[in-house]
Copies of this chain bind each other. A is one copy, B any other.
Amino acid sequence: MSTSEGPGPLVSTRLGYLLKHAHVLMSELLNKALAPYGIDGRELGVLLVLAGHEPGSQQQVAQRLGVDRTTMVALLDTLEDKGLVSRHPHANDRRRNVVELTETGKKTVRQAIEASDKAEREFLAPLSPQDAERFRDALQTVVTRRDQAPDGQR
C-alpha cells in the first residue's frame, strides 16, 4: 500500500487511518526481519505463546492468541512442517494434541525475538527514546483498556 501523494489532512489525522498504516508498516518491517528464519509475524505469535506457557492443547493456544481453533490447525501444520513445533496426543485425554516447541523451535524463537526487537527499533526510529517508550506504554494502556479513566472522570 503506497499513497505517493497522501489522502489529505482530513484523512491522515484520523486515528483509524494512522493505526491501520502503522500496523501495515510494522508488519512489513517485522516480516522482513523474520524472513531469514522462515517465519512471519503471525507464526512468531504462535511460537511466543508456546514459549510463554506450559505445553497446552491446540485449543488453549488458539484461545490465548484470540484465533479460531480451525485457524490454529493450518498454522500448526506449517510450523510442524518447518520442524518448529511438535504435536502428540495427551496421555489422559486422547482427543487433545499437546503442542510444544521443538529444540529447533526454541532456538528459532530466541533468534526471532532479536530480529523482532530490531524491527521495532526501526519502526520507532523517528521518535526520541522517551517518546518511543511513551508510545509503547500508551498502546498497552489503550489495548488493555480495563476501562478506568485516567483521573477519575467519566
Residues of A at under 8 Å CB distance from B? Answer: 1-23, 25-27, 30, 41, 45, 48-49, 51-53, 63-67, 113, 116, 120, 123-128, 131-132, 134-136, 138-143, 145-151, 154
Contact = CB atoms under 8 A, between A and B. Distances in A.
Nearest to A64: B7
A123 B126 CA distance: 24
A41 B20 CA distance: 11
B145 A64 contact: no
Contact of A150 (B21, B120, B128): B128
Chain A, interface SS category: helix
B140 A127 contact: no
B22 A116 contact: no
B8 A48 contact: yes
Contact of A14 (B9, B16, B48): B48
A125 B143 contact: no
Contacts of A146: 126
Contacts of A22: 19, 23, 139, 142-143
A13 B117 CA distance: 11
Given A10-B51, A150-B126, A65 B3 contact: yes
B11 A49 contact: yes
